[in-house]
Amino acid sequence: MGADPVAYASRARLAAIEVLRSGRNHALGLVLAFAVRPDPRTIAKTFPQPELELARESAEPASLATLIKQPGVVPALLAVFASFSVMASVMVLTGHLVVVERSFESDAVFPILAAHIVGMFGLVLVVGDLIDRIGRRPALVGGLAIVAASVLSLGWLESVVAIGFALFGLGLGWIVAYVAGSAELVDRTRPIERGKLLGFGDLGASFLAACLALLGGFLLSEFGPVALRLLTGCAALLPMLWIARDAMGSGFREAAGTLRSR
């Protein structure tokens, strides 16, 4: 039997509407981005970085490979990659976890995701001050620790309120680690180099989030939620442990250098 032309036309119309809606949203986003004044790069140029200017041998922007080799860049990138990829993949799969694995009504998805969004952006006005108070490295480690604890705790939390609290923690841990990592990347680059390194961080984080969501969805369907928790928990814990170890090593090296100089 041939396809129903009415049903086909309806699906085509809906697809066209979605394409137009997506294009409209992208156009609106571009307008908002280009309407930001003054340009962030212009603002950045008003904050001198004499130590970076002296360290660079050329006025031209350094290559991405050179920027990645700067002290503090790799830990910051790891925190950006891990926090965003784990947060985004768990957020994407939350509906399945809540409705299928926990057998809740679909109405339960909204308050849980709402709590997650509040965790992501509700404390944005105080997160920067908090990071400045405790330091960048502690914020990277602490943010990833919160992310790991949140995803691992989903294994024994049963109520909507408890799961919402865990997703709130997931969003909070992400923004702490992500903002601390982005601030570290900003401090390690000049304005003419900043877009290259931050763009690499955003691209890598988004790519890893897509890969982790695909892999997590496969593990969830084939092996259950335990496999997903192990995957996302390790994806946050391993970078956290490496950053903490690197920070301790840097502290010991600085202390040793101070003692030798006396």
**Which amino acid would we find at residue 240?**
M
Tell me the pLDDT tens digit for each residue of 19-68: 555 667 767 777 777 777 777 667 666 666 656 654 555 667 888 999 99
pLDDT for residue 20: 55
Tell me the pLDDT tens digit for each residue of 148-157: 999 999 888 8
Tell me the pLDDT tens digit for each residue of 164-213: 999 999 999 999 999 999 999 988 888 888 889 999 999 999 999 999 99
Phi-psi sector, 245: left (phi>0), alpha (psi -120 to 50), beta: alpha
Looking at residues 119-144, what average pLDDT do you find? 93
Apex 165 CA angle, 184 and 209, nearest 5:
45
pLDDT for residue 170: 96
Which of residues 117 and 60 earns the better pLDDT score? 117
Query: Structure pTM?
Result: 0.80
Which of residues 99 and 212 earns the better pLDDT score? 212
**Helix, strand and coil percent figures for the chain, each rounded to 5:** 85, 0, 15
Buried b / exposed e over 203-224, threshold 16 CB at 10 Å, is: ebbeebbeebbebbeebbeeee
- The closest alpha carbon to 90, from 175, 195, 174, belongs to 174
Please name the residues in contact with 152: beta carbons below 8 A apart, sequence gap of 6 or more: 229, 233
CA 130 to chain centre: 18
